[in-house]
């Protein structure tokens, strides 16, 4: 069985040793791919000196999370990968983590993505913000199962963050790679949309544990401030490119224009300006939206296989 772990790196020295030492301790053989997003802090030299077994891609530009992973996934598939395990640079595994989650995947082929329980660096708490995803678990007995220590191997869930994902080969062949319309943040939400479109489920595996040091996320490499407007634009974009829903530009235009007119009549001028900006944003990227939707459905043209 060929298992490739892909880590996209960018100025993450605070985490490298814990992350890559943990991969060396995996109880199943793995091959590790690093795609470095143009770090200029000695990252490349660190890997070449300390982890010569790593397959290292040195990008001259910052490709972002999705396109960095696409580069690694493409290599893994071309070299016979049965599974791809995406791992953030600020995360590290337990020795049995990969073996356990692959065992679960092999017994549950209806799941296109599987993710573990993310815990913090003390290993005594759930990783910050991860509990919010529990609201998307699609099993009413989940809380009882956890409380009475009878949890199942896997639960269907609406969404899991791509900080740690196991993706079987069949998913990648069917769904393709990450959409470059999302540079950083949102690409995992969009990928889940596409996975569900093709009839796969997303699975949460609470017995499998991986550390995600997200409480220290601002230490290195992730210091760029994300504004509220950027977040709202990402929400709109996720709505427009979702192939599980219908999208007709003319209907969207009518919807926005009617909203603007109603707000003007109510003298809510600041809100009307917000909606107008959303409308202008949609018009500016309409071609990219159509391209995204087409490529998501016709995966032979999707970003992974055409690189």
Report the b/e string of 83-104 with b at 16+ CB within 10 A: bbbbbbbbbbbbeebbbbbbeb
Share of residues in the chain with pLDDT > 70 (%): 92
Task: Give the total number of structural domains in the chain.
Answer: 2
If asked whether residues 214 and 243 sit together in one domain, one would say no
Among 223, 249, 284, the domain boundary falls at 223
If asked whether residues 299 and 248 sit together in one domain, one would say yes
If asked whether residues 181 and 112 sit together in one domain, one would say yes
If asked whether residues 8 and 72 sit together in one domain, one would say yes
Q: What is the CATH number of the domain that holds 122?
A: 3.90.550.10
d(CA 279, CA 282): 5
- At 232-256, the pLDDT tens digits run 888 999 999 999 999 999 999 999 9
If asked whether residues 41 and 159 sit together in one domain, one would say yes
If asked whether residues 35 and 170 sit together in one domain, one would say yes
If asked whether residues 136 and 271 sit together in one domain, one would say no
Among 223, 257, 289, the domain boundary falls at 223
Question: Across residues 146-150, what is the average pLDDT?
Answer: 93
If asked whether residues 9 and 149 sit together in one domain, one would say yes
In the structure, what pLDDT confidence band is assigned to residue 188 with cuts at 50, 70 and 90? Answer: very high
Position 130 scores a pLDDT of: 94
In the structure, what pLDDT confidence band is assigned to residue 134 with cuts at 50, 70 and 90? Answer: very high
Position 183 scores a pLDDT of: 83
If asked whether residues 174 and 287 sit together in one domain, one would say no
If asked whether residues 143 and 246 sit together in one domain, one would say no
d(CA 150, CA 142): 9
If asked whether residues 74 and 14 sit together in one domain, one would say yes
Question: Across residues 58-65, what is the average pLDDT?
Answer: 93
**60 half-sphere exposure, CB direction, 13 A CA radius:** 0
Domain that holds residue 261: 228-303
If asked whether residues 86 and 123 sit together in one domain, one would say yes
């Amino acid at each position: 069985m060929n298992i490739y772990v892909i880590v996209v790196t960018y100025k993450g020295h605070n985490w490298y040793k814990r992350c890559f030492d943990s991969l060396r301790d995996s109880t199943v053989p793995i091959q590790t791919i690093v795609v470095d997003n143009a770090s200029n802090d000695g990252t490349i030299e660190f890997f070449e000196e300390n982890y010569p077994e790593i397959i290292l891609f040195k990008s001259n530009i910052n490709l972002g999370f999705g396109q960095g992973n696409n580069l690694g996934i493409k290599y893994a598939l071309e070299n016979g990968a049965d599974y791809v395990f995406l791992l953030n640079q600020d995360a590290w595994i337990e020795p049995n983590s990969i073996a356990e989650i692959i065992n679960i995947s092999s017994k549950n082929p209806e799941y296109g993505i599987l993710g573990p329980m993310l815990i913090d660096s003390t290993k005594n708490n759930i990783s910050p913000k991860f509990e919010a995803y529990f609201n998307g678990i699609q099993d009413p007995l989940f809380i009882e199962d956890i409380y009475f220590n009878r949890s199942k191997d896997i639960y269907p869930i609406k969404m899991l963050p791509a900080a740690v994902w196991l993706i079987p080969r069949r998913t990648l062949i069917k769904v393709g790679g990450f959409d470059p319309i999302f540079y950083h943040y949102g690409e995992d939400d969009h990928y889940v949309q596409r996975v569900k479109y093709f009839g796969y489920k997303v699975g949460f595996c609470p017995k499998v544990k991986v550390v995600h040091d997200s409480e220290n996320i601002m230490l290195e490499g992730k210091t760029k401030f994300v504004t509220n407007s950027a977040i709202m634009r990402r929400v709109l974009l996720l709505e427009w490119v979702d192939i599980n829903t219908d999208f007709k530009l003319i209907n969207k235009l009518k919807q926005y224009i009617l909203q603007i007119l109603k707000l003007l009549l109510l003298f809510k001028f600041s809100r009307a300006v917000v909606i107008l900006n959303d409308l202008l944003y949609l018009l500016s990227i309409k071609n990219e939206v159509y391209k995204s939707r087409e490529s998501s459905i016709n995966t032979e043209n999707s970003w992974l296989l055409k690189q």
